[in-house]
Structure 1
Amino acid sequence: MAEHRTMQRSALLDAARTLLSEGGTEALTFPALAERTGLARSSVYEYFRSRAAVVEELCTVDFPVWAAEIETAMEQTAAPEGKVEAYVRRQLALVGDQRHRAVVAISASELDAGAREKIRAAHGGLIAMIVEALEALGHEQPRLAAMLLQGLVDAAVRRIELGVAEDPRAIADAAVEMVLRGVRG
């Protein structure tokens, strides 16, 4: 029985990711989740009490996986500049990943305080990953620099997701160049 519930919960989260990446937060409804999973709408409520609860669960499950991928990329190099570059490039490479599209859709929506706090905490963990590299580069305010660096990454993500004329690689190259020049002072 527990295994069945775990599988159903996983199917609901997969359906939520798909709905978010295809149609944004407006698409994430309990009727849509029920339709995608073959469950009755009332059964969806047995797993999640609200749309915000689905969002919180996605953050709890997906953000650590995404962060681990970024951290792994950063561990491939010892040089602080290489860590900064890996931090930027890996995040931008993840733009096409369904988990990332779901997180972006989630963060663009109106959420309750609990869901917003989970997202803030997850982003804080992401920013903490780069602070040490910025310290090693001799930045006087590495935490502030990390937050600003993440702002540039977020802007590059939005640019890639718009599907504008630039190739995503060109956007990534420009972001890396801007970040590295900026953190070197």
Structure 2
Amino acid sequence: MPRITAPSVPEHREAQRRAILDATRELLADAPDVEPTFAAIAAKAGLARSSIYHYFPSREELFRAVVVEALPRWKAAIEAATGAHDDPGARIVAYAEANLTLVADGEHAVISALAAFSPRAFSDPWVQEMHGQHVEPLLAALRDAGVAEPGVVAELVNAMVQRAGALIEGGADEAAVRAAVRGLLTR
């Protein structure tokens, strides 16, 4: 029988689940072009490969759990950054900055890898809704700034942020990319 390493069985199970999720996220962040196997995840988490099946019957379910955990963190980071400013223009810049920080921290690489390895995880209605909520602070700032077509402008801002993120992930000078984005958004 496995040894319980926490004060209670539920706490032990949550610690094991947490170790699996953290190991998966770390593997994806370190090598976003390599789909992690249960063997690699188990080795990283310090568990037997068969133990993972007690928590996640398939990689699809495991990857969805990582997505479900990552999206609220992304949303919270955006909301914290934009919420720190009253001026709509500053909130628009903060939105872009927060997204670029998440890219630089490797969060985007994890989400992109998950989208490539498990597209069905992103077809889940909750995931789609949560992903759509990420743009709400930008839309609110654009409306507060009196922008006539906030939805269109939000799409354009996001296109710029996505391209800036791709440049950062590709090795471009992060400070220069951030300065260029700030410059474009503050004009």
Identity %: 33
- Structure 2 contact 104–168 (Cα < 8 Å) conserved: no
Q: How far, CA to CA, are the matches of 1:116 and 1:110 in structure 2?
A: 13
* Unaligned residue ranges in structure 1 (runs of 5+): none
- What does residue 111 of structure 1 align with? 118
Q: Classify 1:179/1:163 alpha carbon distance in 2 versus 1 (closer, same or farther; 3 Å).
A: same
Aligned length: 178
Return the index of the structure with the highest Cα Rg: 2
Q: How far, CA to CA, are the matches of 2:128 and 2:167 in structure 1?
A: 22
- What does residue 56 of structure 1 align with? 64
Q: How far, CA to CA, are the matches of 2:95 and 2:73 in structure 1?
A: 14
Q: Are 2:162 and 1:170 equivalent residues in the alignment?
A: no
Shift of 1:90: 1.5
Q: How far, CA to CA, are the matches of 1:141 and 1:22 in structure 2?
A: 39
State how 1:133-152 maps to structure 2 within 5 Å. Answer: 133-152=141-160
More helix by share: 1
Q: TM-score, normalized by length of structure 2? A: 0.86
Instruction: Describe the SS at the equivalent of 2:135.
Output: helix
Q: How far, CA to CA, are the matches of 2:11 and 2:62 in structure 1?
A: 19
Shift of 1:25: 5.0
Shift of 1:169: 1.4
Q: TM-score, normalized by length of structure 1? A: 0.87
User: Which among 82, 94, 98 is matched to residue 74 of structure 1?
Assistant: 82
- Structure 1 contact 80–133 (Cα < 8 Å) conserved: yes
* Aligned CA-pair RMSD: 1.9
Q: Classify 1:114/1:92 alpha carbon distance in 2 versus 1 (closer, same or farther; 3 Å).
A: closer
